[in-house]
Structure 1
Amino acid sequence: MPKSPPNHSSRFGSAHAERRPRGGEPARYDRQRLRQELASRMEDLRLRAAAADEAARSLADGCDLDAADAGSRRAAVADERRRADEAREQLGRVQAARCRLDDGTFGRCVSCGTFIDPERMSAVPYTELCVSCSRGAEGGGR
């Protein structure tokens, strides 16, 4: 009896109808489900960025009683700004993934054009690089 492929679910759900066939063919994606998952992720990231921005503004408007308070507040403001920047950066990656989904290039490495392993896409559906290119980018100081 043939063995069925494993179910590769992530917190983004089971986005793949099947595993990638051999020979470099693309995996088949449930485009509607992916579109919904990416839209949900985008909304979450927008809310996180806005909340961090608001927290930074609120902290910046506070009153300092002494130099230690001022230093602690500056550090907290910087931390909230970093959180907001990270959320906006990730939002940009998710938006780019949604564009790739719309233009038919979703699941292909933006650097070398090969198909990205479906397990990698399931784990991080907004990834844009295959493992090989990702390693090269990390080694190149990206």
Structure 2
Amino acid sequence: MERSHDLKFNNNQNEKCLNKVLSYFSEKDTNLIVVIIGPSGSGKTLLAKRALFDGLFISPDEPIAGENFIQSLSNKDIIVDDVVLFDMRNVLKYVLHSLASGRKVILTGRPEDESLYQKLLLNLPKEISPLFIKLAGENSLYL
């Protein structure tokens, strides 16, 4: 099995996007949230895994427990993949708990679901200003 930090992008543009995310994480101390939006096959998940290679990857396919699971997020950076497939109230809880613990958060999703991300982000405290990365078609990233 290949480890996420060993995975490589196909082109320099993808590396530039990764560098942008890593730079954002290094410039701020708190409220570190990145939203990566792009169509299937655009590299969202790979970008998220490369940026937070030790992060807890939460997939909609995995069963998620209640309060015990949320408490377990205190010491982990998290990646919520295809966030629209989750109950948004739970995602908001995950994000708020992780951010309150000083952890990093990456959310991924598709362009057609962007209005749902906006609703989620409107429920975050005003001092939280996420980095948005929009990805074009297959393996071509842009900021």
TM-score by length of 2: 0.25
Larger strand share, 1 or 2: 2
The higher relative CO (CA closer than 8 Å, separation ≥ 6) is in: 2
Higher helix share: 1
Q: Which entry has the higher C-alpha Rg, 1 or 2?
A: 1
